[in-house]
Chain A
Amino acid sequence: MSSPAASLAIDAREVAKTFRSGWFRPRTTEALRGVTLEVPRGAIVGLLGPNGAGKTTFLSILATLLIPDRGSARVLGLDVVRDSLALRRRLNMASGRPSFLWSLRVAEIVAFYGRLYGLSGSVLRARVDRLIEEYELTPYRRVPYSELSTGLKQRVALAKSLVNDPELLFLDEPTLGLDPDVSVRVRAHIAALRRERGMTIVLTTHYMREAEELCDDVAFIKAGRILDAGTPDELKRRIGLGDVIALRLEPTAPAWLATAAGVLRCTTNDGWTECTVDEAEKRLPDLLGRLQAEGVTVRNVRVREPELEEVFVELAR
């Protein structure tokens, strides 16, 4: 079982889905137009893309909640359509806008889903207790779901999604609407799930910081297609956004700066000269050397790598 396919948690090929809604005047939405993605076991992969790109649709297909129109998807070696029941035992999902039965209490919600996944007796109790503790829900275990804040609801959703100890976890915008402190902790939890349990995690997010911090690989989806995929660094390089070298120069920036080797463009802003270069490490020594040789004083230097956010904006355009 060491073929490449066996080491893949997800092997999706040309997955397509068109929604048809309305009984009288049907409207169609091509949500996915042939998505191919491979996710190795034990990886954390992020799906990024503008609103309506098809991220949730894709996750739902992989999680067996939605049947694709075309293409094939094997998840944990099982076909998402034919082997859906066996697959459901081994995966789980949580989303950033969770909802559960309003009047059930936190512990009851986790226990209900635990039973659906075949847990009972002391095993169930121990699992529920552990998850409630891990997600710092102990003070709320007897609070009805409808009385919880957004952050607490999200934590209940995460606890529920781990009740069957899944091998593969789908997280649809897991930190949506959380305050920075809670987001940081949720991210730490997600990272720990992979580190400690070897869980494969596929998440969607609109926070690029989150994607950079958590994901080994990211895939950009737009209008139902994957535009690019790779590590965040690879993407930045491929998109060719370059690094920014910001300089505070005295007396002024020389004209040659804009046309120096490796410099893509130069702007002056608030006393700072910002040069976008292909690679800062390669160009910085040369530039500084030439400036010094010409008697230009360099008062301050800042180097900024492009943010994933800029890659996003570039790709989403």
Chain B
Amino acid sequence: MSWRADALAVWAVVVRNALMASRNVFFFFELLFWPIVGVLSIGLMTRFLGLTPAQTSFVLIGTIALSVVNVCQLEVAYAVLMDVWAKSIKHQFLAPIGIRHLTIGSWLVGMVRGVALFTLLAVLAWWAFGFRVFAAGGGPVAVFLIGCFLNAWIVGVFVCALITLFGNRAEAFAWASVNLVLVLAGIYYPVSVLPPPAAAIARAIPLTYFLDAYRAHFGFTSEFAAPIATGLGLSVVYAALAHLAFYSCVQRARRTGLLLKMSE
């Protein structure tokens, strides 16, 4: 496949996801409501508990990261989810494209949504709680966002794999299982407070390292030696695994007939 055909296939998915997002009445609700509720309720809780500004920033960074990852992973999962809902999935697997075009295209849209949400939540956290997310500077913010997006990509692709493995009945299960993993990533607490088995899982999650690296700019000492490199390294490994899983599940669906059952 030429790079031009590759780019076109990715672009096709970008346009489709963007159009679908723009048509969805609940798009803004989905994009904004829960993240805003999250930041406000967590922020108010920190006030009630009388946390220090540093502690508040720790918790708010976690909340914002979780929201950004969620919005982006949902968009990545839309690579197959929308077609599964519409029962039109077979057409995109009839076309001469690979799964990478689907996952990259929807990821690009997810990143746009993620950046928009991040900006909005940053403004909200600053306005409501005086927390300046951007205080760390452009570089660290960019690295932090890249970390969130990589995690979202991995999670979204695994959700795609689970859905092509079990069909859309597995949707709830797919979300639950991946979110369970995220909760362990030290969203609201340092990994050191987790019981050893949970901490071991947390150490296997790339997001843990990106949170750690970003929080280091807010006065917390890093728990890891080279968090960014570790996070990136893990992300590459998981992204490869997720795509392998997705590919195998699509091939399996071609063998079992699930691809047909999920269409028309």
Contact = CB atoms under 8 A, between A and B. Distances in A.
A115 B101 CA distance: 12
Given A89-B96, A97-B264, A66 B91 contact: no
B263 interface: yes
Interface string A81-114: 0000110110011010111111110001001110
Interface string A198-226: 00000000000000000000000000000
A101 B82 contact: yes
Contacts of A144: 23
Interface residues of B, number: 36
Interface string B78-102: 0000110011101111111110010
A89 B2 CA distance: 13
A17 B255 CA distance: 9
Given A65-B93, A104-B19, A115 B263 contact: no
Contacts of A85: 96, 98
Contact of B263 (A64, A89, A99, A104): A99
Interface stretch (A36-44, A116-124, A180-188, A263-271): A116-124
Interface string B242-261: 00000000010011110110
B175 interface: no
Interface of B is mostly: helix
A246 to B, nearest CB: 43
- Interface size, A (range): 35 or more
Contacts of A111: 15
A66 B254 contact: yes
B5 interface: yes
B8 interface: yes
A60 interface: yes
B256 A100 contact: no
- Output the residue of B91, B101, B264 with the most chain A CB within 10 A: B91
Nearest to A97: B264
B24 interface: yes
Contacts of A117: 95-96
Contacts of B254: 64-67
A56 interface: yes
A103 to B, nearest CB: 4
B9 A115 contact: yes
A115 B8 contact: yes
Interface centre among B86, B92, B251, B259 (most CB of A within 10 A): B86
Nearest to A56: B260
A181 to B, nearest CB: 24
A129 B8 CA distance: 19
A88 B254 CA distance: 14
A223 B264 CA distance: 22
Interface string A1-28: 0000000000000000101110000000
A112 B88 contact: no
A88 B20 contact: no
Interface of A: 17, 19-21, 56-57, 60, 63-67, 85-86, 88-89, 92-93, 95, 97-104, 108, 111-113, 115-120, 144, 160
20 contacts: A60-B260, A66-B255, A66-B257, A67-B254, A67-B255, A85-B98, A99-B88, A99-B263, A101-B88, A103-B23, A103-B24, A104-B19, A104-B23, A108-B15, A112-B15, A113-B12, A113-B91, A116-B95, A116-B101, A160-B91
Interface of B: 4-5, 8-9, 11-12, 15-16, 19-20, 23-24, 82-83, 86-88, 90-98, 101, 251, 254-257, 259-260, 263-264
